[in-house]
Chains A and B, each alone.
Chain A
């Protein structure tokens, strides 16, 4: 069964260091999302891509976070420098088309701990 792949599953980094997460969506899915889920909270959208273009990055802290999807397939989310408050689960999701009834499929996430 097709699934959204994320790596690494777990990452521990020191504050002020750079960290990157990778996501490979389900084949053929044009829309890709990055969410951040702080422990005990619901996921919060960071950025949405349609193919290689950013559709919504209004909640992305652009002073330290960046996201790219250069060929419209896989995507990388980077944090530089990492802060203690960035400790969270980072979830990637993808959907087939930009349509009202389309389901978003989530990966298992990358759990980041900043020490």
Chain B
């Protein structure tokens, strides 16, 4: 079945550091890929997405490129801020027969220190 593997946390960085959170996936079809963010006490929010190979999703300084050859969708940001502290989830949607529910990774807790 489909699965998503992302790097274990917590990841602790200093403000203005470069961020990479690795994500790889396994899917039988051609999935769409997503990064969601969850702030404390809140629901999940879509951060960015890519629907086909070589697409780059970007939002709020974050970006990720859909790499079909390496089945990866790594999240990057050039300069993190304290406000980026949250849990980040990589996810895929492999549409089959109208069912397009998301398969999530376990999440990576990001802590940014001032």
Report A's interface with B, CB cutoff 8 A.
4, 31, 33, 35, 40-45, 48, 50, 55-56, 91, 93, 98, 100-101, 103-109
Is A42 a contact partner of B91 (Cβ separation < 8 A)? yes
B106 interfacial contact with A, CB 8 Å? yes
Show 6 residue pairs from A and B whose CB-CB distance is below 8 angstroms, ordered by the A residue. A40-B107, A42-B104, A55-B97, A93-B44, A100-B51, A101-B49
Interface size on B, residues (CB 8 A): 25
B103 interfacial contact with A, CB 8 Å? yes
The listed residue with most B CB atoms (<10 A of its CB), out of A40, A41, A106, is A106
Which of chain A's residues have a CB closer than 8 A to the CB of B102? 33, 35, 43, 45, 104
Set A31, A42, A45, A105: member contacting B106, Cβ < 8 A: A42
- Also in contact, A55 and B98, with CB within 8 A (given A41-B106, A45-B103, A101-B32): yes
Report B's interface with A, CB cutoff 8 A.
4, 32, 36, 41-46, 49, 51, 89, 91, 95, 97-107
CA distance A115 to B63 in the complex (A): 42
Q: Which 10 A-B pairs have the closest CB atoms?
A: A42-B104, A45-B101, A56-B99, A106-B43, A106-B44, A108-B43, A48-B101, A55-B99, A103-B46, A42-B106
CA distance A48 to B95 in the complex (A): 12
Sample of 18 further A-B pairs with CB below 8 A, known A98-B100, A100-B51: A33-B102, A35-B101, A40-B106, A41-B107, A42-B4, A42-B104, A42-B105, A43-B44, A45-B101, A45-B102, A48-B99, A48-B100, A48-B101, A56-B99, A98-B98, A104-B102, A108-B41, A109-B43
